[in-house]
Amino acid sequence: MAKRNILQFIILGLLNQQARTGYELTKAFDSDIGEFWSAQHSQIYPQLQRLEADGQITHSDEVTGEKLNRKRYAVTPAGAAALNDWLAADTEPTIGGRDEFALKLYFIQSPADPRLQHMLAVQQEFHTERCAHLQAQMAAKFPEGQRADNFGHYLVLDHAIRRETAYVEWLAAAVKQLAR
């Protein structure tokens, strides 16, 4: 899995869009970017420190209210260069992530197994709902083929929708071929 520390580039990419705090970066992984990567704050804060020590980002202190301090990070020219190097480098194609559910199905040999019905139904419900949620997002953010700006965002949303749609179709096809 992880090997070349992708996280640092994601942080650079996000900060390159706009200056952010560690907290805001953490939340970015809950929305659109969460479709293709995840990270917790316990990983992000140390990474920010390393990037700053490396001279790829800097921060300015901000105060909210009386005492609360937050650090707003921004990329340096060196950071922007590192980001561009990453973007320009060859990308090892993704070869299908890990899927515990698919794995379980693999070990159930018989299409008559009594557990299949329920297992498939649960997954179907989840992914169908998820699919609808993504389509709603798409409709909200890109109403009229408004893809010119934020093209990247559009592409990953489209990707997520296609992926979930294919997943739902796979589950439906599986259900259809169940018992007999």
Partner DNA sequence: TGACACATGTAACGTGTTACATGATTCG
Partner DNA sequence: CGAATCATGTAACACGTTACATGTGTCA
Q: Which residues contact 97 (CB under 8 A, 6 or more apart)?
A: none
Minimum distance from residue 65 beta carbon to a copy of itself (Å): 33
Give, for 52, the enclosing helix (H) or strand (E).
helix 41-53
Interface residue with a copy of itself, options 99, 121, 132, 146 (CB under 8 A): 99
C-beta neighbour count of 43 within 10 angstroms: 14
Q: Which residue has the tokens 């580039």?
A: 9
Interface residue with DNA, options 13, 16, 24, 150 (CB under 7 A): 24
Q: Does 121 bind a copy of itself (CB under 8 A)?
A: no
Q: Does 81 bind a copy of itself (CB under 8 A)?
A: no
Minimum distance from residue 126 beta carbon to DNA (Å): 18
> Under a CB-based contact definition with an 8 Å cutoff, are residues 58 and 72 in contact?
no
- What is residue 71's three-state secondary structure? strand
Listed in sequence order, the DSSP H helices in the chain are 6-17, 22-28, 41-53, 77-88, 100-107, 114-141, 151-176
Q: Does 36 bind DNA (CB under 7 A)?
A: no
Q: Does 18 bind a copy of itself (CB under 8 A)?
A: no
Minimum distance from residue 136 beta carbon to a copy of itself (Å): 17
Q: Which two tokens stand for residue 68?
A: 């609360």
| Nearest to 38, CA basis, from 98, 80, 121 | 98
Q: Does 138 bind a copy of itself (CB under 8 A)?
A: no
Q: Does 166 bind a copy of itself (CB under 8 A)?
A: yes
Residues that bind DNA (CB under 7 A): 1-7, 21-24, 26-27, 38-43, 45-46, 48-49, 64-71, 98
Interaction site with a copy of itself (CB under 8 A): 1, 6, 9-10, 13, 16-17, 32-38, 83, 86-88, 90-111, 115, 119, 122-123, 126-127, 130, 147-153, 155-156, 158-160, 162-167, 169-170, 173-174, 177
